[in-house]
Each structure stands twice: as C-alpha cells, then as structure tokens.
Amino acid sequence: MRIKTIGSDDDRTAIAVLRIEIRTGNDEDDMRALAARLGYRLVGGLIALAPDREGPLTTVMLALARTKASIVIVPNIEHLDGIAAHIQQRARIVTVAGEHALERITTTSVTEPTANI
C-alpha cells in the first residue's frame, strides 16, 4: 500500500514514537527514512514510551500539542498498544511496517433541529 502525502506544510509535520521495550535495531532510522521519503518533517525528537513511566497517551498528546504535528510515525501499531484510537482523534498514524496509514478520526457534533413554535 502506498501512502499519499498530504497537502500543506502544516499537515506534513510529524513526530516519531516508539515503545522502548519492543523496539528493534533500525526502528529510529526506519522512521526517519519513511518521513523523508513521504515528505514529512520530523519534529520534537524521538518520543520514547517506556514501561516504567506512566502516561504514554499523555506523553504523545503533549508532544503533539507542543510540536503542532498532525502525524505520528511508529514502527508498527504495537508501539501504540491501547492508545491508537485516542491518538487518531488528534493525528494521523503512519506505520513503517507495511506503510499503513490510519486516518485521523474527526467527530462532528450533531444538533437536533428545533421546531418553530
């Protein structure tokens, strides 16, 4: 599956996230290479999620807010175990393995129509 790049420069800002305990030798280089190939600008350094730290979701969300990134690049979806759906509410997720893209989930509020009385 080929991932298409997104339009504006703001949409091309990404952060790289990985869980320390399941990383493999080339994960960091692979994420950088994928970002470069797709035209994404990596910002904020590597966001490392460690099992001895609490709050992986908070860590990623704070990094997204701080960098204003709209894309999270991970080696594979296992690196976001249990938090991917929450991250999708704020950013698009792109995996190195298989080059999959999980689009951002946008929610719109639906209001009930009011009757003219």
**Residue 104 included in any domain:** no
Residues in the chain with pLDDT values less than 50: 1-2, 4-9, 109-117
pLDDT for position 36: 97
pTM recorded for the entire structure: 0.81
**Residue 115 included in any domain:** no
CATH code of the domain containing 19: 3.40.50.1390
When divided into structural domains, the chain yields a total of: 1
Give ∠ CA 72-58-41 in degrees, rounded to 5.
25
* pLDDT tens per residue, range 77-95: 999 999 999 999 999 999 9
**Residue 49 included in any domain:** yes
pLDDT for position 10: 56
Token pair recorded at residue 99: 């080059």
Partners of residue 41 on adjacent β-strands? 13
**Residue 39 included in any domain:** yes
pLDDT for position 11: 78
DSSP the chain: -PPPPPSSSGGGEEEEEEEGGG--TTHHHHHHHHHHHHT-EEEEEEEEE-TTSS-HHHHHHHHHHHHT--EEEESSGGGGTTTHHHHHTT-EEEESGGG-EEPPP------PPPPP-
Write out the residue range of the structural domain in which residue 69 sits. Answer: 13-95
